[in-house]
Each structure stands twice: as structure tokens, then as C-alpha cells.
């Protein structure tokens, strides 16, 4: 038969749903958190995370017991990149971002911990997405280079050099914010 249809993903059934609950749902917070850092916007983060979870559910039949969190975060990242191209949206202007970033993910706690945490959140938000995403995966998700490579679809060697550049950029941002050019960051 010519033009045999490409096999479609089977619709998820009750067994898949239960397995999804056990394997993927524990990473919902991480999916949202990653979307939050990618989008720098809580509302958009929720849209991206929701769409990513539904995609994950649709593709879960093909999940073969690799580690669930990197698998899910890769879907989050792809979803976000589709959102951006669909809407033709670029990153938001920085002043908007900084206003929001200054609130931090948790304003109350940020206030308690003083300025430093706010500066860190704002500096991170000001970085280009390429630097931001790799720092979040490494430091907040505590991913190994191998897992970062699988999320970002990069060779491990590139992960290392990109991470080094990202740290340099973050250090420069922080120094700029603190007016401490040439001083060590560790006394912050």
C-alpha cells in the first residue's frame, strides 16, 4: 500500500496514566521551575509547563526507562522554543524582565535574605537564554554534563565550554550590579 500512514502515537490509556503519575509527575515542580527561568514570566511559564506535560503524556509510550527528569526538561525546552517561534516572540525587553525578576521566585523569602538573592535573580534573568538555561540545569537542577548534554542536545565538550562562558557572564553581571569590578565575588 503506498503512502502508508506514519504510525500515530497510541492514545494514552489508564495504565499509561498511572505510570505517568509515578514516573513523571514527581518532576512537575522542576518542569515549572525550568519553564519559569526560560520564560522569565510566571504566566507564560505555566502555559509552557502545561503544554510540555501534555506532550510528555502523549509521548510517554515511547519512554524507555531513561532518567525522567532530563527527558521531561528537554520536552519543556522544545515546547518553549515552539512557543517562541509560533508567536514570533523574542525575549522580553530587559526592563520588564528586571522588574519581575526583582520580585524573585519567592518575594517574601528574597526580602528576608536581603539584597544578594535579588541581585542574583536579576543577574540571571539578564543573561542571554543560552547562558541562563545551562546555569539553571547545572546549579539548580544539579545535572551532570551528560544530562545537560541530553537536554540541550549538545556534545559534552560544548557543555563544558558553554558553562564556563555562562559563569563568566554571570560574574560580570553581578559585578556590574554591585559595582565591585575587580573584586572577588566570594565576599558578596
Partner 1 sequence: MDCPTCEAMIDAYVDGELSATESAAFEAALPGCPDCRRRLEDARAMSGFLRDLPAERAPDLLRAKIERELRAISSASKPQARPVLGQNMRWMAMAASLVLAVSIGWVGGTFTGRPGGGDDELVSTYLRVASSDHPVDVASTDRHTVKPWFAGRIDYSPPVRDLTSSGFPLEGGRLDVVAGRKVSVLVYRHNQHRVALSLWPATASGNTPPKVVERNGFVMAEWRHDGFEMHAVSDLGVSEMASFAAALDRATGEDR
Q: Which residues bind partner 1 (CB under 8 A)?
A: 11-14, 16-18, 20-22, 25-26, 28-33, 36, 46, 49-50, 53-54, 57, 104-106, 109-110, 113, 116-117, 120-121, 124, 135-136, 138-140, 142, 144-145, 160, 163-164, 167, 170-171, 174, 184-186, 188
3-state secondary structure of 41: coil
Nearer to partner 1, 90 or 138 (CB): 138
CA distance 41 to 21: 26
CA distance 156 to 36: 25
For residue 112, the minimal CB distance to partner 1 (Å) is 10
Nearer to partner 1, 3 or 108 (CB): 108
Nearer to partner 1, 129 or 144 (CB): 144
Neighbours of 151 (CB within 10 A): 24
Amino acid at each position: 500500500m503506498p503512502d502508508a500512514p506514519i504510525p500515530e502515537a497510541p492514545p494514552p490509556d489508564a495504565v499509561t496514566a498511572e505510570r505517568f503519575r509515578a514516573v513523571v509527575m514527581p518532576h512537575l515542580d522542576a518542569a515549572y521551575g525550568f519553564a519559569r527561568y526560560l520564560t522569565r514570566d510566571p504566566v507564560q511559564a505555566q502555559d509552557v509547563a502545561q503544554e510540555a506535560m501534555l506532550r510528555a503524556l502523549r509521548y510517554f509510550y515511547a519512554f524507555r526507562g531513561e532518567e525522567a527528569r532530563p527527558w521531561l526538561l528537554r520536552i519543556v525546552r522544545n515546547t518553549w522554543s515552539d512557543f517562541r517561534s509560533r508567536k514570533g516572540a523574542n525575549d522580553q525587553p530587559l526592563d520588564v524582565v528586571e522588574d519581575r525578576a526583582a520580585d524573585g521566585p519567592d518575594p517574601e523569602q528574597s526580602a528576608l535574605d536581603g539584597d544578594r538573592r535579588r541581585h542574583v535573580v536579576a543577574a540571571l534573568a539578564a543573561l542571554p537564554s543560552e547562558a541562563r538555561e545551562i546555569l539553571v540545569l547545572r546549579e539548580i537542577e544539579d545535572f551532570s554534563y551528560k544530562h545537560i548534554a541530553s537536554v540541550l542536545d549538545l556534545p559534552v565538550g560544548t557543555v563544558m565550554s558553554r558553562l564556563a562562558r555562562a559563569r563568566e557572564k554571570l560574574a560580570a553581571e553581578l559585578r556590574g550590579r554591585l559595582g565591585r569590578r575587580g573584586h572577588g565575588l566570594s565576599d558578596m
